[in-house]
Amino acid sequence: MLSDVFSRFARWTERQSGRPGAFVLAFAVVLVWGLTGPLFHFSDTWQLVINTGTTIVTFLMVFIIQNAQNRDTQAIHLKLDELIRASKAARNGMIDLEEMPEAELARLKSSFERLAKTADCLDHRIDEKVERAVEREVDEELEERGVPDAERR
């Protein structure tokens, strides 16, 4: 229940804070604060008002932004997982790469970088021998992770 309420509030807030009106409002607040400086003799309290206000807004927006980013990332992963699952040529073992340790991700990335370097710049074809070698290397890495054969392609 609380999670649903926060999610709805976070979505509404992220939509509102991304609009031009939100920027104009924030700019106006800073402008009014700046213009009132002489009235308050640029006192410590006058400075504390803007510092406290911006700190509170920033602190709260961190949670809103993180919620939006988590939701967007999860949606992108699900969409990509569906594309991988639906493609006969894709390796199904790639579906949960976000769960892979950093070192394994780095090795896999290196394999794909080597594969990309073999591409012929004129017609973008890839040397089939190199592609098969890289695929074998990727399959071996996925096998080490315990991904069943049926899920690799």
Query: pTM above the 0.75 mark?
Result: no
Contacts for 50 with CB less than 8 Å, ≥ 6 apart: 30, 33
Residue 132 CA to residue 115 CA, distance in Å, equals: 10
- pLDDT per residue over 25-61, tens digit each? 999 999 999 999 999 999 999 999 999 999 999 999 9
- pLDDT per residue over 74-109, tens digit each? 999 899 888 888 887 777 777 888 888 888 888 888
What are the DSSP calls for 47-83, one per residue?
HHHHHHHHHHHHHHHHHHHHHHHHHHHHHHHHHHHHH
Class of residue 132 by CB neighbours under 10 A (exposed 0-12, middle 13-18, buried 19+): exposed
